[in-house]
Each structure stands twice: as C-alpha cells, then as structure tokens.
Amino acid sequence: MDDLGLLRDLGHDLEHEPPATLVRQRHRLAEAIAGRTGRHRGRGWILIGVAAAVTAALILVPTVLLRGGGKGAEDPLGRSTHRAGATKALNILVLGTDGRGDKFAPRSDTIVLLHLPRDNERISAVSIPRDLMVPLPSCKTRSGEATAARTGLINSAYTVGGLGCSVRAVEKLTDVRIDHAMSIDFTGFKRIVSGMGGVEVVVPRAMRDPKAGLNLSPGRQMIRGDQALAYARARQGLGDGSDLERIKRQQQLMAAMLKRAKEKQMLSPVRLPMFLNMMAGTMETYGQLSVPVMKEIARILERTETDTARFSTIPVRPHPDDPNRLALNEPTARKLLQTFRS
C-alpha cells in the first residue's frame, strides 16, 4: 500500500459518524435563514448555563446550610436538625433559565439532572437538551388552569407550568424520582460572582469586545459579575475565536468560582446571609429544600469530590417527524440513568 492508501486507512479509523445532535447546527442555519440571528439569547448561554446551574447547585446548597450557623446547627425555627445517619442518595433537577425580568416568559435553556450518591462515589450530572420532544404531563399554568397532556419540547414545561411542571416532565421522561429542584436565571450567574466578591482569572492578553462590554488588560486579576459574564460569553476576536476556546475559558472560570466559593464558605460564613439575599429573586426551589435536607446534601458533598463530577448528555436521536428536533434514545438512556435509580 502506498502512502496515500495508508493515510486513507488512518483517516477511516479516525472518522466519527455525524451525531444526532448535528440537527442543532441545521437549526442554527434555519434560524439564520429566517433572519433570527439577532436574538440576544444565544448558544453561549446554554454553555455557561450548564456550568452556572451546576455550580450554583453545588455551591449554594451547602452554603444555605450555614444560615443555621456553624456547629450544632439549628434551622430558623429552632428545631434540632440532627438526624442519625439517615443519608440516602438524592436526585436534584437544576434548571438554567433565560428570565431577565423582561416581558418574555422565561424558558429553561439548561436542564441538568444531578445525582448525589450515597457512598463515596462520583456525582453524576446528565444534561437534557432543550430541543428534546417528550410526552408532557398535564400541568397547572401560572394563571391556575390545567393544560392537557401532550407531546412537546421539554423546555416548554417550565414556560407553561414552572418548576413543578418541569419536575414531572423530567420524571416522566427518565423514570427517575426527583427529590428536589431549583432554577437559576441569567442574572443569578452574575450575582454569584458578585456575591463572592469576584473571581480571579489570568487573562493572557488584552481582551476587548465592546459588543459584550468586555475590556480587560492582560494579567492576573479579579473580575466581577458583568465582566465575568462577558468573559465567559465572548467569542469574537478572542483566542482563536472558536467555541472550544470559549468552553475552555468557561471551565477555567467555573474552577475559579468553585475555588473562590470554598474559600469564602470556610473563611467568612458571616457574609453568606448577605450572599443569599443577593441571590433572592434569581433562584427558585421546589420540594422541601429545607435546612435538614440541605444538611444532608452537604454531608453527601463533603464526601464526594466535586471536581470529579461525571458530566454527560442524555442519549438522543433525530426526531422522526421533525429534522430540527430530538427524540430520546430510550435503551441507551435507560442504561445511563441506571445509577440515578439506586
């Protein structure tokens, strides 16, 4: 075999088949064709949405506990929160929404199912694409009417019936019992950063993106809410301008946030109530996310390495009736979600 033959063989071995999620790129093109590229909510938010939502869950949940106040914690009503060794695995649904206080109904752009295991296992996070078609349960709308059960986009559950409706839709889809749920919106991310007093990043060279309101000089520095958001989302004219480059930047930012949160939590518990007040209005919780429950979550988190959380996406295939939508790939999804049912 000559050199080109060998090279072709190598190429075959390196090749990957187009994934079902390539339909998103088709959707992107369809939006450009329809002239809808200008809308502010972009894919950028989806990426940081996952990270922000999971970070929020991992940081805030144990953080909230400290409201009870350090050792021998009591909840605000004065009851003892001590429960003898009753730890169990928990499933938490985390939504990142695009609500920005404008007239549009908020949508859940980011949907992540988080599994906190009972033992010293790794935390699992499975993200559910927002363009997944699913059977939707009957839900109560914000005005109190009940909607009929139907087939629709998973993210429409939140728009129609809020967090409770999302919980039931995801439970129906995954056959996983959800213990708790929380949502965090666009400004929540900024407030997390601000509430921590900023995060430290190392900027390799000057970053300027007037469109995103970004203006950073090179070097190690603290950046705050708006800048952090712009830093995470910026794409044009930075690095090699690619999504990969941006994802890397976001991961660094998340690592910095987790580090900062740990420091703050240990060193300055006094600041936390303030922090939580800042978060008010950007977060919503569902179920009994009470102090004892949070204490339990904190106990789970203490034993697990949050750095080694396992991230995956629920298996999907193109929807048979609509090339711009996804359908669940049931057998593989069932297998992936096995750990969530333990």
SS (H, E, C) 248-289: HHHHHHHHHHHHHHHHHHHHCHHHHHHHHHHHECCEEEECCC
26/88 with CB nearer other proteins: 26
Where does this chain bind other proteins (CB under 8 A)?
A: 1-11, 13-26, 28-30, 32-33, 240-244, 317-323
Give dist(CA 284, CA 288) in Å, integer.
12
* Cα distances (Å, whole numbers) of residue 337 to 18, 28, 50, 130, 256: 24, 29, 18, 18, 30
49/188 with CB nearer other proteins: 49
Residue 335 C-beta: closest distance to other proteins, Å: 18
Residue 339 C-beta: closest distance to other proteins, Å: 24
Residue 329 C-beta: closest distance to other proteins, Å: 12
Residue 174 C-beta: closest distance to other proteins, Å: 23
27/168 with CB nearer other proteins: 27
Token output for 33: 């064709």
DSSP reduced 3-state for 67: helix
Token output for 129: 């694409």
Phi, psi at residue 235, to the nearest 5°?
-135, -50
Answer whether 203's CB lies under 8 Å from 218's CB. Answer: yes
2/302 with CB nearer other proteins: 2
Residue 43 C-beta: closest distance to other proteins, Å: 9
Residue 244 C-beta: closest distance to other proteins, Å: 5
78/320 with CB nearer other proteins: 320
Question: Which residues are CB-neighbours of 97 under 8 A, at least 6 positions away?
Answer: 106, 107, 108, 109, 110, 158, 183, 184, 185, 186
Phi, psi at residue 133, to the nearest 5°?
-85, 130
Residue 37 C-beta: closest distance to other proteins, Å: 8
134/316 with CB nearer other proteins: 316
243/305 with CB nearer other proteins: 243
Give dist(CA 170, CA 246) in Å, integer.
29
Helix runs in the chain, H state only: 3-14, 23-33, 43-65, 156-174, 186-195, 225-233, 243-267, 272-279, 291-303, 330-336
Look-up of token digits 């800048």 = 227
135/323 with CB nearer other proteins: 323
Residue 8 C-beta: closest distance to other proteins, Å: 6
